[in-house]
Amino acid sequence: MITINKQTQHEIEKLNLHDAEIRDVICNYYEHKVSIPIKLNTNKNELIFDEVLFIDVSLYEPWGAGMYINEFVIRESSELITKYSPLQDSQALHFTILLNSGDNINIVASKVAYK
């Protein structure tokens, strides 16, 4: 398992999620968690976001149909972090998953675990 938070952001370099398939985005509102099962080749894994403050998923498909990860990016500062986690000592990160459809999954959370 790889856990990525503000202190371990460099760990994203260990993840090669390009072309991983996403079919579901599961939001547990009560526990402030989002899980995204992913399939890469024959391996089935999961991204689990904890202490989620915001999630936005577009389903517009501007580049055509597709459900594969093009890129996975982490930002320490963004308008979404400022809006949803305004405390300066916040541990929130802005995670963006760009799909090959052109759609984005934006999540503001304190960490993500790759299992």
**Domain enclosing residue 67, as ranges:** 2-114
The confidence score (pLDDT) of residue 85 equals 82
pLDDT in tens, the chain (115 residues): 999 999 999 888 888 999 999 999 999 999 999 999 999 988 999 999 999 999 999 999 999 999 999 999 999 989 999 888 876 668 999 999 999 999 999 999 999 999 9
Residue 52 amino acid letter: V
Residue 59 amino acid letter: L
The confidence score (pLDDT) of residue 46 equals 97
Phi then psi dihedrals of residue 85, to 5 deg: -140, 70
Per this entry, what is the length of the chain?
115
Output the six-digit token pair for 60.
Answer: 């517009």
Are residues 5 and 12 in contact, defined by beta-carbon separation less than 8 angstroms?
no
Tally of domains in the chain: 1
The confidence score (pLDDT) of residue 88 equals 62
